């Protein structure tokens, strides 16, 4: 019998997969966001988790975004729209600021929150065919509400962000690659495997150094250059003399692949 849980989780070889279980449209329900918040917080504190893949069940759609009907019927019991929005912003910020790399798969409809969640991830991989990616909130008389305006502008630049948001565009995977919205494009049939291959590659890297890079790069856009350079220097100090650093140096000298343990 298929699971009815809103979020499916699987941890294998250091890669945690978090999958929205509302196929075929994979709405981001209140229950999904509750479980996603718990899973992200748990992963942050779990040393066995080295990388995260955020995906959805099936191959039809990553997500059509927030379940608007549910918001109308159950939103008040959650403190109203502002409280619901606060939680979603909190979850996305937690993903963006994690010390572990996150990868999102974009396929089918990736609209509204279905794009804003991937924008908080460190890597985005899109399907080469049939993806429809966008922030169409203006068609609903509204504005992207989960940080989409800021994150999209930082990701693709002001001009592309305005073109997509003000025209409520739904772009393809190849177009998203051209605009710099995603790092890779793969055939839909291979997309999830490609995400897991990338996650395994990242999971094999030294965790302390990965955390340092994520902290420096994610935070670099909001601080003066001098502060960013100081943060980088501190990250170098944090790695200095660790077992992973010594392993990396020895592996280089011995012409072999390093095996990093997080120590």
Please give the structure tokens belonging to residue 216: 């420096």
- Catalytic residue check, 137: yes
Catalytic residue among 82, 96, 130, 137: 137
Catalytic residue among 116, 129, 201, 247: 116
The catalytic residues are 116, 137
């Amino acid at each position: 019998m298929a699971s009815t849980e809103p979020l499916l989780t699987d941890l294998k070889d250091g890669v945690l997969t978090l999958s929205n279980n509302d196929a075929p449209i994979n709405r981001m329900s209140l229950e999904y966001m509750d479980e996603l918040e718990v899973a992200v917080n748990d992963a942050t504190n779990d040393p066995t988790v080295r990388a995260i893949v955020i995906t959805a069940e099936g191959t039809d759609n990553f997500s059509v975004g927030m379940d608007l009907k549910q918001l109308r019927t159950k939103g008040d019991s959650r403190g109203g729209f502002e409280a619901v929005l606060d939680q979603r912003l909190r979850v996305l910020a937690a993903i963006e600021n994690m010390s572990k790399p996150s990868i999102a798969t974009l396929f089918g409809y990736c609209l509204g929150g279905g794009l804003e969640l991937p924008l908080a991830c460190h890597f985005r991989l899109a399907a080469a065919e049939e993806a429809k990616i966008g922030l169409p909130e203006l068609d609903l008389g509204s504005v992207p509400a989960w940080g989409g305006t800021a994150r999209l502008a930082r990701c693709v630049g002001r001009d592309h962000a305005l073109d997509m948001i003000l025209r409520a565009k739904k772009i393809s995977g190849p177009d998203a690659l051209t605009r710099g919205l995603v790092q890779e494009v793969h055939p839909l049939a291979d997309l999830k495997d490609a995400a897991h291959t990338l996650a395994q590659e990242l999971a094999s890297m030294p965790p302390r150094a990965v955390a340092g890079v994520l902290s420096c790069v994610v935070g670099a856009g909001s601080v003066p250059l001098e502060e960013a350079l100081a943060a980088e220097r501190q990250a170098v100090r944090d790695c200095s003399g660790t077992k992973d650093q010594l392993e990396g140096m020895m592996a280089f000298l011995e012409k072999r692949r390093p095996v990093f343990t997080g120590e």
